[in-house]
Amino acid sequence: MATGLRVGGARSRPSLARRRVNDARPIESTRFVARLHIEQGHAVPGRDVLGELIELADALDDVGEKARAEAAAAQLLMLMGDEAAVEWAERAIAHGTAAGDERVVVQARVEGLLLLAENRAADAVVAFAATMEAAGECLRRPTEASLRLAYAQAMLAAGDRAGALAECRRAREQLAR
């Protein structure tokens, strides 16, 4: 399968807009590809894919989708140590708040705070405490569900298949609330 298009004899990546046609989750998949590049030390391709994500964020009309794309951009910029992460986190917080998406707001706050922590630790401590207190249920449910899944894995390893399945069901119910 071809991974790009031929343009003037040179190979180029398909644009994000073209990939969106066959991609049900363009924000998450683009964030994932960029993060892989960044974490593997491939800064140029990571920044290129990040640029596509930023283009997508700017083009989106749906406020909730825009907030998710902006939070993803903030995360990637934070991983790159780029001060622009704070601006993108603030954008995501504003749009996430407008969309009523508490998870995006918490994610964006954390991304901005991580960068802040590298430069101004005392300010970051205060901001992290406020974010954790405000997040409450938004963080508790997925965290507890993750713990239930880990517990289920341990139960399965210990030979308790029925108990493991029950814990998996509880985790699923927890996330569905």
Q: What does the domain layout of the chain look like in residue ranges?
A: 14-135, 136-177
State pLDDT tens for residues 119-173.
666 666 666 666 666 666 666 677 777 777 778 887 787 888 898 888 888 888 8
CA dist list (Å): 18 to 5, 144, 169: 11, 38, 38
Assigned CATH topology for domain 14-135: 1.25.40
Q: Which residue reads 């814990």 in tokens?
A: 167
State pLDDT tens for residues 77-92.
888 888 888 889 889 9
What is the pLDDT at residue 124?
64
pTM comes to: 0.60
Q: What is the mean pLDDT of residues 103-131?
A: 69
Q: Which of 11-15, 81-85, 98-102 has the lowest mean pLDDT?
A: 11-15
Length of the chain: 177
- More confidently predicted of 150 and 5: 150
Could you give the angle at which helices 121-135 and 137-157 cross, rounded to 10 degrees? 80
